[in-house]
Amino acid sequence: MPPSQPGSRMERRVARTKAAIEDAFVQLVLEHGYERVAVDDICAQADLARATFYAHYPNKEAVLFSVFNKLIEDLMQRIAYQGGPWTVVRRDAIQTAFRHAAEQPDLYRACMSDARTRQAYLSILSRYAEQNFRDRLSALGKQPRVPVPVMARAFVGSHLAILEAWLAGELQGDVEQLASMALDLFIAGGAWAHGFRLDELGYSTGSPADARTSPPPTRPRSRHPQPASTATSEDAPGGSQ
């Protein structure tokens, strides 16, 4: 038999099976927590045989990281630096990060409920923020007042704390409002740590949020979206650096 071609019936069937397994996994994690979910539970939820599960994943941990990898890969593509002057604050990046969670809140809740994928999220975004900060400082010839790794971890940690509280319903308001408020909070302290004056970053008068037009508010949807399959165990606690 010749090998399967891209988009073949076999590949489509595999994709559907993986999507069913991942969707069932996320639903069960939200209902019972990761530790209480067994492979048998996933199979029952997805209406699949155990042999079918193991033909696609070696264990439930592989499903967790597959789901998380799709989430983080999509996020990193959306917030990737696309160019522009370093004297302009990239308001769109943090707004995109919050909006990404609003589009698939159940997926975020499931991934952030496990310490390994939560830590991977922190590590991956912290590395992204650290590189972004270093590039800005280098381009503008500035020396930071606070070590860049400390700034990056504080920035991402604050973002995640606000995001998790919103996902849990502990903070009210639509995601665009939260992103705007978080941005103003982060930039003021971050500017000092970088060694910038606020007027060098467009904060000479008022808030930059006052001068922009926000897209329609986005609220978290209760319906669980279909998971789209990068973290590895290296990004989880105890993994290699």
> Is residue 109 pLDDT above 60, yes or no?
yes
Averaged pLDDT score across all residues of the chain:
82
Three-state DSSP string of the chain: CCCCCCCCHHHHHHHHHHHHHHHHHHHHHHHHCHHHCCHHHHHHHHCCCHHHHHHHCCCHHHHHHHHHHHHHHHHHHHHCCCCCCCCCCCHHHHHHHHHHHHHCHHHHHHHHCCHHHHHHHHHHHHHHHHHHHHHHHHHHCCCCCCCHHHHHHHHHHHHHHHHHHHHCCCCCCCHHHHHHHHHHHHHHHHHHHHCCCHHHHCCCCCCHHHHCCCCCCCCCCCCCCCCCCCCCHHHCCCCCC
Going by pLDDT thresholds of 50, 70 and 90, the confidence category of residue 2 is very low
Q: Which residue has the higher pLDDT, 232 or 62?
A: 62
> Is residue 232 pLDDT above 90, yes or no?
no
Going by pLDDT thresholds of 50, 70 and 90, the confidence category of residue 177 is confident
> Is residue 25 pLDDT above 50, yes or no?
yes
> Is residue 4 pLDDT above 60, yes or no?
no
Going by pLDDT thresholds of 50, 70 and 90, the confidence category of residue 241 is very low
Tell me the per-residue pLDDT of 214-227, one tens digit each, with 9 for 90 and over. 444 444 544 444 44
Length in residues, the chain:
241
> Is residue 228 pLDDT above 50, yes or no?
no
| CA-closest candidate to residue 110, choices 62, 162, 68 | 68
Q: Which residue has the higher pLDDT, 31 or 86?
A: 31
CA 77 to centroid of chain Cα atoms: 11
The amino acid present at 22, given as its one-letter code, is E
> Is residue 229 pLDDT above 80, yes or no?
no
> Is residue 126 pLDDT above 70, yes or no?
yes
> Is residue 55 pLDDT above 90, yes or no?
yes
Q: How confident is the model at residue 3, as a pLDDT?
A: 47
Question: What angle do the packed helices 91-103 and 175-194 form, to 10 degrees?
Answer: 140
Residues 6+ away with beta carbon under 8 Å from 74: 100, 228
Going by pLDDT thresholds of 50, 70 and 90, the confidence category of residue 204 is low
Q: How confident is the model at residue 14, as a pLDDT?
A: 94
Q: How confident is the model at residue 113, as a pLDDT?
A: 94
Evaluate whether 142 touches 90 at the Cβ level (below 8 Å): no
Q: Which residue has the higher pLDDT, 194 or 35?
A: 35
